[in-house]
């Protein structure tokens, strides 16, 4: 959810930053270019937001599975690892 929220915030900030630009720069060639760049970035941010949303369930499951596997492996290694003198309180 973090990347989606951050991307939405970025879209809002981008829109706010460009408010009034077109009205205040009417007739300038750079206005059309700036509008094209704005549209391009909005589309990119929307794609990132949507991709993050579609990947989130899978990434959460992978993290859960990894954590469970690590716990399982740790207990298996502990069961077969030879004890060291340090484990027995010695040197």
pTM comes to: 0.60
Give the whole-number percent of the chain exceeding pLDDT 90: 38
Does residue 43 surpass a pLDDT of 70? Answer: yes
Does residue 18 surpass a pLDDT of 70? Answer: yes
How deeply is 7 buried, as exposed, middle or buried, from its count of CB atoms within 10 A (0-12, 13-18, 19+)? buried
- Residues 56-70 have pLDDT tens digits of 889 889 999 999 999
* Widest Cα–Cα separation across the chain: 84
């Amino acid at each position: 959810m973090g990347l989606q929220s951050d991307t939405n915030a970025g879209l809002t900030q981008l829109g706010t930053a460009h408010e009034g630009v077109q009205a205040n720069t009417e007739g300038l060639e750079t206005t059309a270019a700036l509008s094209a760049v704005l549209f391009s970035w909005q589309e990119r941010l929307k794609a990132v937001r949507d991709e993050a949303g579609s990947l989130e369930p899978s990434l959460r499951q992978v993290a859960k599975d990894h954590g469970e596997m690590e716990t399982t492996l740790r207990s298996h290694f502990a069961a077969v690892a030879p004890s060291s003198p340090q484990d027995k309180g010695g040197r």
